């Protein structure tokens, strides 16, 4: 069982045989997979909850203590439940959800596809991490069927109404906020570790035909808000201590509040699997904007953070054609590149661990269900 050893210890929410939901940590011992029952081990009330939120709100000192305890339990498998006996649930009660657009390769590809005669990147792109507010209430757990959305798209004369014919994925990483901030204050780029609890895999399902018709001038709306899937497991930031890497480089230099030269990206490899076949391997280390810069930008106007806030990277695309994180880019806009009913998409992630091997982040799966009348 690769990637869930003692250097990983991701958090999730589980139940057994219809019992109450509670916080657990996954560990594999080489033969079997287990969930460590943290409430049973500690009696801490914040761990006997149907989401990670109460625990995350305790802050970094409690996170460190609990991770230490989980490492001890993992060694002895005390309070361990077989993963096969556990039902996993959405790990976080998502407060606000923001999606960025932080890959230069993705933004350039999309610009070329949608605006072949214009500049690929718009003038603001290298000065700020572009983003939009999404719909927190439709963030769903891995495995939730995705019902094909219905809506308006551009037609030859008048808009056409019906099920989307260009249903797509966006392979992304999501960052989960544990500790909030005060309204009116900023979270500086060097305070990332005080606020961000961990990372989830994230698929920002996108209906390109609905999106293309509606997005000017206010940005994504119904083409995105029908579903966003996240992994069951939240990888805590310390498990990624060995994965930090320098950004590819930022020119022109961003404004001081974005900490030019002072923040890093993450060396996380992504796999996009459609109907069992790997169709792409996007590298997160190629992203232009860092997670800390996204957080600093998200709060520079004084917008407060809340426990459970989720902010995502935007589609992860590398420089090569087989590193693109959306079907729009992989098919370069071709009409038959998109998802059919019954198609299954799985996003997988792995990163360097702190013991010299690699850790496997939680995967994100979803199958397309037919549109409803």
Catalytic machinery residues: 106
Instruction: From 93-101, 130-138, 230-238, 353-361, give the range in contact with Mn ion by CB under 5 A.
Output: 93-101
Q: Which is nearer to Mn ion, 44 or 106 (CB)?
A: 106
Q: How far apart are CA 269 and CA 126, in angstroms?
A: 24
- Please tell me whether residue 204 binds Mn ion under the rule CB under 5 A: yes
Instruction: From 61-69, 110-118, 163-171, 345-353, give the range in contact with Mn ion by CB under 5 A.
Output: 163-171
Q: How far apart are CA 59 and CA 281, in angstroms?
A: 34
Tell me the residue nearest to Mn ion as measured from the CB.
Answer: 204
Q: How far is CA 87 from CA 16, 21, 77, 289, 357, in A?
A: 6, 9, 19, 36, 28
Q: How far apart are CA 336 and CA 348, in angstroms?
A: 24
Selection from 360, 35, 347, 312 nearest residue 177 by Cα: 312
Q: Which is nearer to Mn ion, 111 or 238 (CB)?
A: 111
Instruction: From 13-21, 124-132, 164-172, 180-188, give the range in contact with Mn ion by CB under 5 A.
Output: 164-172
Q: How far is CA 117 from CA 104, 156, 209, 329, in A?
A: 18, 21, 20, 17
x-marked contacts with Mn ion along 260-299 as a string, rule CB under 5 A: ----------------------------------------
Q: Which residues of 56-68 are buried (b: 16+ CB within 10 A; e: fewer)?
A: bbbebeebeebee
Q: 171, 326 in Cβ contact below 8 A?
A: yes
Q: Which is nearer to Mn ion, 40 or 128 (CB)?
A: 128
- Please tell me whether residue 329 binds Mn ion under the rule CB under 5 A: no
Q: Which is nearer to Mn ion, 37 or 172 (CB)?
A: 172
Closest separation between CB of residue 195 and Mn ion, Å? 22
Residues facing residue 273 across a β-bridge: 278, 346
Q: Which is nearer to Mn ion, 13 or 310 (CB)?
A: 310
Q: Which is nearer to Mn ion, 239 or 312 (CB)?
A: 312
Q: 318, 248 in Cβ contact below 8 A?
A: no
Q: What is the DSSP string of 231-268?
A: -S-BEEGGGGGGGEE--S--SSPPPGGG-TTT--EE--
- Residues in the interface with Mn ion (CB under 5 A) total 3
Closest separation between CB of residue 220 and Mn ion, Å? 8
Q: Could you give the count of Cα atoms lying within 13 Å of 361 in the half-sphere of its Cβ?
A: 34
Closest separation between CB of residue 315 and Mn ion, Å? 5
Instruction: From 130-138, 173-181, 197-205, 240-248, give the range in contact with Mn ion by CB under 5 A.
Output: 197-205
Q: Which of residues 7, 37, 46, 170 is near Mn ion by CB under 5 A?
A: 170
Instruction: Kindly tell me the burial class for residue 102, based on how many C-beta atoms sit within 10 Å of its own C-beta (0-12, 13-18, 19 or more).
Output: buried
The phi and psi torsions of 28 (rounded to 5 degrees) equal -110, 140
x-marked contacts with Mn ion along 94-133 as a string, rule CB under 5 A: -----x----------------------------------
- Please tell me whether residue 168 binds Mn ion under the rule CB under 5 A: no
Q: Which residues of the chain form contacts with Mn ion (CB under 5 A)?
A: 99, 170, 204
């Amino acid at each position: 069982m690769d990637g869930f050893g003692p250097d990983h210890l991701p958090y999730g929410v589980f139940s057994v045989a219809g019992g109450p939901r509670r916080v657990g940590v996954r560990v594999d011992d080489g033969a079997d997979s287990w969930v460590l029952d943290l409430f049973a081990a500690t009696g801490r009330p914040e761990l006997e909850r149907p989401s990670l939120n109460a625990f995350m709100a305790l802050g970094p000192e409690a996170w460190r203590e609990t991770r230490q305890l989980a490492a001890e339990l993992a060694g002895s498998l005390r309070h361990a439940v077989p993963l096969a006996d556990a039902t996993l649930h959405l790990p976080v009660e998502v407060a606000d959800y923001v999606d960025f657009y932080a890959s230069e390769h993705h933004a350039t590809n999309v610009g070329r596809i949608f605006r072949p005669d214009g500049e690929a990147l718009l003038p603001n792109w290298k000065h700020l991490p572009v983003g939009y507010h999404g719909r927190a209430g439709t963030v769903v757990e891995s495995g939730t069927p995705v019902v094909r959305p219905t809506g308006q798209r551009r037609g030859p004369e008048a808009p056409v109404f019906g099920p989307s014919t260009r249903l797509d994925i966006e392979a992304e990483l999501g960052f989960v906020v544990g500790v909030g901030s005060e309204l009116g204050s900023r979270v500086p780029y060097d305070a990332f570790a005080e606020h961000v609890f961990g990372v989830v895999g994230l698929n920002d399902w996108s209906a390109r035909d609905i999106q293309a018709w509606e997005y000017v001038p206010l940005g994504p709306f119904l083409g995105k808000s029908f579903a966003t899937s996240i992994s069951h497991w939240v990888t805590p930031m310390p498990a990624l201590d060995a994965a930090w890497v320098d950004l590819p480089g930022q020119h022109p230099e961003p404004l001081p509040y974005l900490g030019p030269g002072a923040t890093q990206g993450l060396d996380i490899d992504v796999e996009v699997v459609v109907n069992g076949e790997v169709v792409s391997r996007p590298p997160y280390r190629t992203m232009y904007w860092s997670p800390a810069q996204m957080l600093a930008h998200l709060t520079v106007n004084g917008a407060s953070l809340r426990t459970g806030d989720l902010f995502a990277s935007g589609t992860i695309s590398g420089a090569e054609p087989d590193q693109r994180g959306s079907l729009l880019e992989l098919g370069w806009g071709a009409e038959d590149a998109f998802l059919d009913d019954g198609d299954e998409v799985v996003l997988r992630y792995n990163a360097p661990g702190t013991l010299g091997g690699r850790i496997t982040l939680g995967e994100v799966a979803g199958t397309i269900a037919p549109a409803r009348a």
